Amino acid sequence: DIQMTQSPSSLSASVGDRVTVTCRASQSISSYLNWYQQKPGKAPKLLIYAASSLQSGVPSRFSGSGSGTDFTLTISSLQPEDFATYYCQQSYIPPRTFGQGTKVEIK
Amino acid sequence: QVQLQQWGAGLLKPSETLSLTCAVYGGSFSGYYWSWIRQTPGKGLEWIGEINHSGSTNYNPSLKSRVTISVDTSKNQFSLKLSSVTAADTAVYYCGRGNNYGGRSGIAFDIWGQGTMVTVSS
């Protein structure tokens, strides 16, 4: 299985901050990388697919980059509704695997 | 707007079979990969498996011996059965739509059900 490792596991940030979350794959996955946001008690929500494509309806402050093994999710200006847990997921080969999550908390 | 609604038993005893169903409302059933994913505090998000409209399946090897995913295209529904459950199968189970955007990307789960908490306890 391809292992997905996110860093950091958690971070504290303020409204308006630029936030970056990193995801590393245990082998090259080209651009087959997706990002999700999850709030407590809710299902995950797709933000970014194919490493850098913004899902319809997602604010443009979210962006993704990377290819191969190293990927980044960036929130350009953190908003109150962005405090949540973020997950990466590889879609290169089954089994489809997720990172362990990065919790973004209010500073 | 496509919605997924899922249901099934929430409390099971060890050795019983978990059974969940997910209905697809408001959209096409073909062209997507209909998936089951579970979430636990300890293991995080774990993909269980998927099925397409023609019944072709992929399963997570770690669960393959116990999992069956089936589809009823006449009802726009798909189902999960997980046999011989133990406490380790206690989790929130989600159904999801796997979308490869017309072949332009890998599978991304763009629509999710509301989740079902399944507890296995004697």
Q: Is B17 on the interface with A (CB under 8 A)?
A: no
Q: Compute how many other C-beta atoms are within 10 angstroms of the C-beta atom of residue B111.
A: 20
Q: Is B62 on the interface with A (CB under 8 A)?
A: yes
Q: Which residue of A has its CA nearest to B106?
A: A91
Q: Which strand (E) or helix (H) includes residue A103?
A: strand A102-106
**For the segment A68-86, what is each residue's pLDDT rounded down to a tens digit?**
999 999 999 999 999 999 9
Q: Which residue of A has its CA nearest to B97?
A: A46
Taking 90 as the threshold, does the pLDDT of residue B105 lie above it? no
Copy the structure tokens of residue A97.
Answer: 């695997």
**For the segment B23-32, what is each residue's pLDDT rounded down to a tens digit?**
999 988 899 9
Residue B53's pLDDT is: 87
3-state secondary structure chain B: CCEEEEEECCEECCCCCEEEEEEEECCCCCCCEEEEEEEECCCEEEEEEEECCCCCEEECCCCCCCEEEEEECCCCEEEEEECCCCHHHCEEEEEEEEECHHHCCCCEEEEECCCEEEEECC
Taking 90 as the threshold, does the pLDDT of residue A6 lie above it? yes
| Average pLDDT in chain B | 95
Taking the CA of residue B73 and the nearest CA in chain A, the distance in Å comes to 24
- Of B69, B85, B100, B84, nearest to B6 (Cα)? B69
Taking 90 as the threshold, does the pLDDT of residue B40 lie above it? yes
**For the segment B57-99, what is each residue's pLDDT rounded down to a tens digit?**
999 999 999 999 999 989 999 999 999 999 999 999 999 999 9
Q: How far apart are CA B83 and CA B16, in angstroms?
A: 6
